[in-house]
Chain A
Amino acid sequence: MKTYQADEKGYYGEFGGAFIPEMLYPNTEELRQNYIRIMQEPSFKEEFDQLLKDYVGRPTPLYFADRLSKKYNTKIYLKREDLCHTGAHKVNNTIGQILMAKKLGKNRIIAETGAGQHGVATATVCALMGIECIVYMGEIDIARQAPNVARMKMLGAEVRPALSGSRTLKDATNEAIRDWINNPVDTHYIIGSVVGPHPYPDMVARFQSVISEEIKWQLKEKEGRENPDYVVACVGGGSNAAGAYYHYLDNPDVGIIAVEAAGKGIDTGESAATSALGKVGIIHGSKTLLMQTDDGQITEPYSISAGLDYPGVGPMHANLFASGRGEFISITDEDAMNAGLLLCKTEGIIPAIESSHALAILEHRKFKPEDVVVINLSGRGDKDLNNYIEFFNL
Chain B
Amino acid sequence: MANRIKEKLNEDGKLLSIYFTAGYPKLGDTVEIIQQLEKNGVDMIEIGLPFSDPLADGPTIQQSSTAALKNGMTTEILFDQLKGIRQSVSIPLIIMGYFNPMLQYGVEAFCKKCQEIGIDGLIIPDLPVDVYHDEYQETFEKYGLINVFLITPQTSDERIRFIDSVSNGFIYMVSSASVTGAQSGFGDEQQAYFQRIADMKLNNPQIVGFGISNSETFEQATKSSKGAIIGSAFIKHLNGHGVDGISTFTKTIR
Question: What's the Cα separation between A13 and B77 when bound, in Å?
Answer: 34
Cβ of B177 and Cβ of A292 under 8 Å apart?
no
Residues of A within 8 A of B156 (CB): 26
Cβ of B55 < 8 Å from any Cβ of A? yes
Question: What's the Cα separation between A280 and B127 when bound, in Å?
Answer: 15
Cβ of B178 < 8 Å from any Cβ of A? yes
Partner among B62, B69, B149, B178 whose Cβ is within 8 Å of the Cβ of A22: B149
Cβ of B28 < 8 Å from any Cβ of A? no
- Give, as a whole number of angstroms, the nearest-CB distance from A279 to chain B: 7
Question: What's the Cα separation between A184 and B152 when bound, in Å?
Answer: 11
Cβ of A283 < 8 Å from any Cβ of B? yes
Cβ of A20 < 8 Å from any Cβ of B? yes
Cβ of B52 and Cβ of A298 under 8 Å apart?
yes
Cβ of A21 and Cβ of B125 under 8 Å apart?
yes
Question: What's the Cα separation between A132 and B104 when bound, in Å?
Answer: 40
Cβ of B128 and Cβ of A182 under 8 Å apart?
no
Partner among B101, B126, B178 whose Cβ is within 8 Å of the Cβ of A19: B126
| Per-residue contact bits, chain A 13-50, to B (CB 8 Å; 1 contact, 0 not) | 00001111111011000000000000000000000000
Cβ of A22 and Cβ of B100 under 8 Å apart?
no
| Per-residue contact bits, chain A 306-344, to B (CB 8 Å; 1 contact, 0 not) | 000000000000000000000000000000000000000
Cβ of A184 and Cβ of B102 under 8 Å apart?
no
| Per-residue contact bits, chain A 262-301, to B (CB 8 Å; 1 contact, 0 not) | 0000000000000000011111110000001011111100
Q: Given that A23-B177, A25-B155, A182-B178 are contacting pairs, would A295 and B75 also be in contact in the complex, using a CB cutoff of 8 Å?
A: yes
Interface size class of B (residues with CB under 8 A): 35 or more
Cβ of B66 < 8 Å from any Cβ of A? yes
Cβ of B159 < 8 Å from any Cβ of A? yes
Cβ of A80 < 8 Å from any Cβ of B? no
Interface centre among A171, A178, A182 (most CB of B within 10 A): A178
Cβ of A349 < 8 Å from any Cβ of B? no
Residues of B within 8 A of A25 (CB): 128, 154-155, 159
Cβ of B150 and Cβ of A22 under 8 Å apart?
yes
Cβ of A165 < 8 Å from any Cβ of B? yes
Cβ of A23 and Cβ of B150 under 8 Å apart?
yes
Cβ of B45 < 8 Å from any Cβ of A? no
Residues of A within 8 A of B62 (CB): 164-165
Cβ of B205 < 8 Å from any Cβ of A? no
Residues of B within 8 A of A18 (CB): 128
- Give, as a whole number of angstroms, the nearest-CB distance from B72 to chain A: 10
Question: What's the Cα separation between A18 and B129 when bound, in Å?
Answer: 11
Residues of A within 8 A of B159 (CB): 25
Interface centre among A19, A285, A299 (most CB of B within 10 A): A19
Cβ of A346 < 8 Å from any Cβ of B? no
Cβ of B56 and Cβ of A279 under 8 Å apart?
no
Cβ of B24 < 8 Å from any Cβ of A? no
Cβ of A22 and Cβ of B75 under 8 Å apart?
no
Question: What's the Cα separation between A26 and B154 when bound, in Å?
Answer: 7
Question: What's the Cα separation between A294 and B76 when bound, in Å?
Answer: 11
Residues of A within 8 A of B99 (CB): 19, 282
Cβ of B131 < 8 Å from any Cβ of A? yes
Q: Given that A22-B128, A26-B155, A282-B99 are contacting pairs, would A177 and B55 also be in contact in the complex, using a CB cutoff of 8 Å?
A: yes
Residues of A within 8 A of B170 (CB): none
Cβ of B174 < 8 Å from any Cβ of A? yes
Cβ of A170 < 8 Å from any Cβ of B? yes
- Give, as a whole number of angstroms, the nearest-CB distance from A260 to chain B: 21
- Give, as a whole number of angstroms, the nearest-CB distance from B52 to chain A: 4
Cβ of A251 < 8 Å from any Cβ of B? no
Cβ of B101 and Cβ of A184 under 8 Å apart?
no
Partner among A20, A26, A174, A296 whose Cβ is within 8 Å of the Cβ of B101: A296
- Give, as a whole number of angstroms, the nearest-CB distance from A185 to chain B: 8
Question: What's the Cα separation between A25 and B150 when bound, in Å?
Answer: 11
- Give, as a whole number of angstroms, the nearest-CB distance from A371 to chain B: 41
Cβ of B103 and Cβ of A281 under 8 Å apart?
yes
Cβ of A183 < 8 Å from any Cβ of B? yes
Residues of B within 8 A of A282 (CB): 98-100, 103, 126
Residue of A nearest to B58 (CB): A178
Residues of B within 8 A of A299 (CB): 52
Q: Given that A22-B150, A181-B178 are contacting pairs, would A165 and B52 also be in contact in the complex, using a CB cutoff of 8 Å?
A: yes
Q: Given that A19-B128, A165-B66, A174-B55 are contacting pairs, would A183 and B103 also be in contact in the complex, using a CB cutoff of 8 Å?
A: no
Cβ of B59 and Cβ of A296 under 8 Å apart?
no
Residue of A nearest to B73 (CB): A295
| Per-residue contact bits, chain B 143-182, to A (CB 8 Å; 1 contact, 0 not) | 0000001111011100100000000000000100111000
Question: What's the Cα separation between A17 and B75 when bound, in Å?
Answer: 25
Cβ of B56 and Cβ of A296 under 8 Å apart?
no
- Give, as a whole number of angstroms, the nearest-CB distance from A247 to chain B: 31
| Per-residue contact bits, chain A 168-207, to B (CB 8 Å; 1 contact, 0 not) | 0011001001100111110000000000000000000000
Question: What's the Cα separation between A164 and B54 when bound, in Å?
Answer: 10
Q: List 10 A-B contacts (CB under 8 A).
A: A19-B126, A20-B128, A21-B56, A174-B53, A178-B55, A178-B179, A185-B177, A281-B100, A295-B104, A296-B103
Q: 5 other contacts beyond A164-B63, A181-B179, with CB at 8 A cut-off? A: A19-B99, A23-B174, A25-B128, A165-B62, A182-B178
